[in-house]
Structure formats: structure tokens, C-alpha cells
Amino acid sequence: MNLIKKSSIHKLSGGEIGIEEIGFWKAIGIIIIFQIVAGILGIIPNLIETSIYGEVINRFTWFRALVNDLVIQFIGVIIIIKMMKAKDDSSRYNSIAIGITKKDYIYCAGLIVSFIMIKYGILNEILEILESSVPSESLKELNELINNSSWILLFVEIVIIAPVFEEIIFRGIILNGMLKKYSPKKAIIVSSLIFGLIHGNLPQGLNAFVLGLVIATVYYYTRSLYISMFMHAANNFLVFFIIVPENFILKIALYVIIPVLGIALLLKCRKALDLKNRFNGCVREEEISLIMDTKDGN
């Protein structure tokens, strides 16, 4: 536990590390540098993996998960944090954030469920139509990778590793830095747009953009990387359970009922979280504290 608490990632989530101001092009540069670092560090592990499993590896392997996707990405993230001139000094932390409770995790999971429910049906059909714009070879490689991998490895890669590192990069570093350069709304939108762009195709990009808006908004109010990782992981886990019935009448009925229920759930969770009012309350407390400190100083 002490090792985790001392890590840069934990300190970044706890606000003990400050990220410098980041604009759009600097954010793009961060992603490119991260990919280059991961690619260079991954040369030897890739050669080892090829010698173990053969020349063509069209599935997730434990070697890839633990070495390429966990260790190397961890090193890459640490390098990016250091490059952004992070200050490992808890006394310099001045971001205002609300306290997180166990109920907040439940309601944030509800936000993700509502997001999936709202896009169920017509919106999913539109996204599937847009998949025709994606090169068939790319979809074939992706489907082979998923179909040839064990469910345990898929869970580790998609539900654990991907959400952790994507949230560190896009919310913990990029959004954090953009909040110092742009207004909150612009920072949330621009960082989410970049999050959508890196997915490489239109249907996944649109879905990632909207998901990014939801998670980035929660991160802005809470400044908690852990809750954003949790929401991202919940989304990646739950999409495996989306089922569309073959019966036409039942399908149409669900296409109407489920999105409506999703909107109701969204409103319920949004009201229960009450992030904006809780955040404004923290701002007022911080302002009062600063005034009192000033008076004491005089």
C-alpha cells in the first residue's frame, strides 16, 4: 500500500502532482511521444513474444498483457508525467474537488449504464452503419484478435489495463492541463474530442467522444482518477452484454423502451450525484478559508 501511495500515478490522482498548462497541439504531442516511447521500449519484448508464440500473433497473450501493455505503458506514463514538469509537492495542490463516497461510485456506474441504454437501438444501428466506412481489413484483424483470445485476457486488457492507462493520459494529464489553459467546458470538449480521434475510426470515435464527455465532466468536479477509471472500466465491461433480439416487434419495442429508461436513469443519477452544487460548496469553503488565512496573516 505504501508503494502505491508513493507512486506518481497515485499522487496525480490525489492532486499532489501538478500538470503544466496543455493546449490542443501539446496534447497531440503527448500522445505521439507516448506511442513512440511505448514502441521503442516494446521492440525487445515484441521479439521475445514472437519467438515464443510464432511470427503471426493474432490474439492477446499473457506476455503481451503483462509486459507490453502493463509494464511498458506504466513506464511511458511515468515519463510523460515527468516531461510535463509535474511538481511532487502536496503543499502546492490548489485544485478544488468534492469528496468521493461509495454511493458516488454506484451513481457513476448508473451514468454509464444510462449512457449505454440511451444509445441502444437506433443510435447503435447508426454506429453500425458507419462501420462500413472502416476498412474491412482493420475490422477483420480486430475481430480475430478478440475471437482468438481467452475471456480472462480480454477482461484484463479491455476492462482493466486500457481504462487505467487511458484515464491517466486523457483525464489525469491532458484534461488536467487543459483546465489550466481553457474554460472547463472547452477543456472537457477538446480533451474528449482527442480521446475520440485516437480510436482511429468514425463509429468508435463518436462513441468514445460522448463517453469522454461523461467521464471528463465527472473528473472535473471530483478530480478523481479512480472514479474515472471505474466508469471507463464499467463501460468496457457492460458493452459485452448488449443483446439485440431477432424478433422485429420485440426489437422495435426495446429500441423505444430502453433509451427512455436510460434517460430516466441518467436524470436520477445526475440528481443524486449533485456534482455542481457540491463543487460550488467546496469553492465557497475554499474562498472562506483563504479570507480567514489572510486575516490571520494580517
Nearest CA among 249, 147, 198 for reference residue 34: 198
pLDDT for 144 equals 72
* Residue 239 DSSP label: G
Sole residue written with cell 502493463? 70
Q: Is 88 exposed, middle or buried (0-12, 13-18, 19+ CB in 10 A)?
A: middle
Sole residue written with cell 515464443? 52
pLDDT for 214 equals 97
Amino acid found at 161: I
Cα–Cα distance between 124 and 39 in angstroms, integer?
33
Cα–Cα distance between 66 and 61 in angstroms, integer?
9
pLDDT for 52 equals 74
pLDDT for 14 equals 67
| 156: three-class secondary structure by DSSP | helix
pLDDT in tens, the chain (298 residues): 555 555 677 777 766 778 889 999 999 999 999 999 998 988 888 788 777 776 656 677 778 788 888 999 999 999 998 888 755 444 444 456 677 899 999 999 999 999 999 998 877 778 777 776 666 666 666 677 777 778 898 899 999 999 999 999 999 999 999 999 999 999 999 999 999 999 878 888 999 999 999 999 999 999 899 999 999 999 999 988 888 888 888 888 899 999 999 999 999 999 999 999 888 888 766 656 655 555 555 5
pLDDT for 50 equals 77
Dihedrals φ, ψ of 283, to 5°?
A: -60, -45
Q: Is 224 exposed, middle or buried (0-12, 13-18, 19+ CB in 10 A)?
A: buried
pLDDT for 229 equals 96
- Domain locations along the chain: 2-297
